[in-house]
Amino acid sequence: KSDDLYDYIILKDAVLLKPATWMNRSANAVRPALKRWNISESLVVYDDLELPAGSMRVRSGGGDGGHNGIKSLFEVLPSDTLKRIRLGIDKDTRMDAAEYVLQKIPADQEVLIQPMLEKAVQLLDIYINRDFTAVLNEYSKWKKSYSRPKELES
């Protein structure tokens, strides 16, 4: 469904929300959604130029890391408890950051990013159906297998 400020999907125990605002104005979309559905707990999933393509970080709390969308969300969500999944998309220093994140994913990176996206969807499902501790446990297992040297995998 759509609203002027966000697109959303209502599930039994969750609302999936995608702001329709510019990233650095995400709080303008999230603020009314928090009130509309009386949301008490949040998990933010977002792309991150500072992480290598295909990598992922999961945590609760912390700073904005220079990410303007997260900086905006801190206006309406508590930074000390904000749960997040950061999706690595790398960066191209030859391009403007906004231009880079809005372009079609380059084919050489798509092969790296697709497995990460599949895992992120799985983690989101775990969060909705269980809790954030279960997300952290699953992420930890994935991270160990993701970072294992290739010669140890055979």
Assign residue 67 the CATH number of its domain: 3.40.50.1470
For the chain, the domain total comes to 1
DSSP track, 64-102: -TT-HHHHHHTTTS-TTT-EEEEEE----TTS-HHHHHH
104-113 pLDDT per residue, tens = 877 888 888 9
- What pLDDT does residue 131 have? 95
Assigned domain for 1 exists: no
Q: How many helices (H) and strands (E) does the chain have?
A: 5, 5
What's the rounded Cα separation, in Å, for the pair 124 and 107?
A: 25
Domain that holds residue 84: 6-95+102-152
Whether 26 maps to a domain, the answer reads yes
Q: Identify the residue with better confidence: 20 or 147.
A: 20
Residue 117 resides in a domain: yes
- pTM, full prediction: 0.85
Q: Are 54 and 112 spatial neighbours (Cβ–Cβ below 8 Å)?
A: yes
24 within some domain = yes
Would you give the end-to-end CA distance of the chain in angstroms? 46
Quick check: 145 pLDDT over 60? Answer: yes
Chain segment 117-137, per-residue pLDDT in tens = 999 999 999 999 999 999 999
Asked whether residue 137 is domain-assigned, the answer is yes
Two tokens, residue 8: 């959303």
